[in-house]
Structures are given as structure tokens and as C-alpha cells.
Amino acid sequence: MFEMNRLLFSSNRELRNYGRVFGGFPVQYLHEGKWLQGRVYNISRQGAFIACDEPLPPGSRLELRFVLPDSTERLLVPTVVKWTNAKEKDQAAASPCGMGVMFLDVGSGGEKSLENFISARKGGSQ
């Protein structure tokens, strides 16, 4: 069964090559000239899950704008939506409405800030 899951869901597994940690901070994202709001639910070196009311469809390109907790550096990160979790009236609280995004280019300074943030939180949720 595990082998079957690995084969069936390999693309989702590839998104999780790096450990994820709880985010819990606000994010703005630019899509088609409009800034929208969300919260980083969890984050890794490769991407993040953005909790939001109206997730964009997979393949959508957007730019994230956020400041990591305990930092003053504003990061601007181009991303692509890889998957969504749409709002359902009977949706479990453990899986918020939102979208999984893959970072396209964090930049060297942003990458270091992100690594430091994740390392500091590794003892928590992944």
C-alpha cells in the first residue's frame, strides 16, 4: 500500500523534500495586478501553504510579500500554485482552505533568512 501511495502521489511528495514548520504569519500575494491577503500556514525552503478564503487554481503565478517573524527583511518571492484545498462546508479544521505554492526564486539573502527561520523552529511542527 505504501509503495502504491508513493507511486500515485509522487508529485505531492516531491514538494515535501524539505522539512516544513508552522508559519502563522501574514502574507500578501500579487495576482493579476491585485494584492490579496492570507496567512502562511506552514513553510519550507521549497514552498509554503497559504491559508486564504479563495485559493487560486494550480498553475497560477503570484508574487508573495512577507516578513518572517523576528525579522525586518521583507521578502518578495515569485511562486506558482501547485495544489489547492477548496473551502467545503464540512471541511475539517485540520486542513484549512488555501493553496500550496512552490517558490521559484527566493534569492540568496531570502534563502538564508528562510533557512535561519526554519532551523530556529525545527523543534516545532514540521
Complete domains list, the chain, with CATH: 2-121 (2.40.10.220)
C-alpha to C-alpha distance for 93 and 56, rounded to whole angstroms: 20
Task: Tell how far CA 34 is from the center of its chain.
Answer: 19
**Listed residue (125, 112, 111) closest to 47, CA to CA:** 111
Q: Rounded mean pLDDT of 40-50?
A: 96
Q: Rounded mean pLDDT of 101-123?
A: 90
Q: Rounded mean pLDDT of 54-64?
A: 97
Burial of 74 (0-12, 13-18, 19+ CB in 10 A): exposed
Burial of 66 (0-12, 13-18, 19+ CB in 10 A): buried
Which pLDDT value is given to residue 100?
A: 97
Q: Rounded mean pLDDT of 102-119?
A: 92
Which pLDDT value is given to residue 37?
A: 97
Quote the pTM value. 0.80
Task: Tell how far CA 15 is from the center of its chain.
Answer: 10
